[in-house]
Amino acid sequence: MKRLVRVVLRLVLCCLIPSLCCMLFACGTKTGEWMQLPLHEDDIRCLGLGPAIPAIVYAGTWGKGVFRSTDNGSTWTAVSTGLPDGTCVGSLVVNPKASTTVYAGTAGRGIFVSTDAGDHWTAANSGLAEKRVQCLAISSLVPAILYAGTYGGIFRSTDGGASWTEADTGLANLHVCSLAIDPAIPGVLYAGTYGSGVFRSADSGATWTVANAGITYANVWALAVDPTSSTAYAGTEGGGLFRSADSGATWTAMNAGLTSKNIHSVVMDPAVPSTLYAGSYGGGVFCSTDRGGSWTPMNTGLTKTDVWVLAVSAGTPTTLLAGTYGGGVFRYIVRADSAKSKTGHSAVLMDEQQVALETVSVVFDS
């Protein structure tokens, strides 16, 4: 508790005195360049951020549990007490109203929850018939509502993970790789599958229908939904990025400028929803300022271009984080203050209603 109080006081000071924040958080990265952070675990599969305390970042590794940073990635601490040795963490979500509550989806051991910023973990598997969890989603409006995508379908919790029930009627393929919730339309969700493309639910996961028209590659690793227009984006394995402007009824490929079409993560700037970032396997990170119409690489300093996940911290400075295979975590200063950065890239801003997207692709909303 004392450590958490110190963290909160530190962040309050940083909000009041931005220059002090930069000194405390060791903000040495040049705007427009990536810097490798001192978490050199080879395989970072997921990142978790909480808008309540933006400087707290969680990183899930393949085989070494969870790490936590309280200074936007400048330093890291292993926080895996309660997780079995060798746990592979493939997904993380943070309670959008309480950054000390975090959920971890694992490969074969189900879901774990921590209520003390990762210091201790307990299993949260009641009713979870499939323990191989690939993605998680949490409601920003009602954080007790969570969804888990697994090798055996989708499960839903309405009590903060204390119990789970199946929520996959109509889901023809139960291998679920990604989940996204439409922030603007309560109850609308998208599920990306391995082999059968995208499915859509309009009733909080009770029933699902196929939503694939135009998607030519069936392995969907990443999903994101524009909070202002309900435009949906799907990142695929081999087919690049697809966009739907009609709630998933039809999709169009949006790949101009992408040199890698293996898209594992998509995040957007809710303040400027036309700005997207895509993390690819083999091609690094790309930015689009026209809703995916065209893409430009942003890889200066990114020495490992196999990117599993992107996430954005809305502190000062605003930073984009990339979890990679082979290089740990990298940080990119998008802007130093509330104005658009000199690079022209915008950042994802987070509050209780709009949380950064995280992959394997997680969107927060109800």
Tell me the three state secondary structure of residue 334: strand
pTM above 0.75, yes or no: yes
Residue 178 has pLDDT above 70, yes or no: yes
Closest by CA position to 153, among listed 181, 128, 123, 186: 128
* Cβ-based neighbours of 17, under 8 Å, separated by 6 or more: none
Tell me the three state secondary structure of residue 322: strand
* Domain formed by 30-335, architecture: 7 Propeller (2.130)
pLDDT tens-digit readout, 90-104: 999 999 889 899 999
pLDDT tens-digit readout, 233-286: 999 999 999 999 999 999 999 999 999 999 999 998 766 778 899 999 999 999
The answer to whether 125 touches 164, Cβ cutoff 8 Å, is yes
Q: How many CA atoms lie within 13 A of 249 on its CB side?
A: 4
Kind and range of the H or E run holding 3:
helix 2-16
Residue 2 has pLDDT above 80, yes or no: no
User: How many angstroms separate the CA atoms of 117 and 72, rounded?
Assistant: 14
pLDDT attached to residue 272: 74
Residue 359 has pLDDT above 70, yes or no: no
Higher pLDDT, 263 or 351: 263
Residue 238 CB neighbours (<10 A):
12
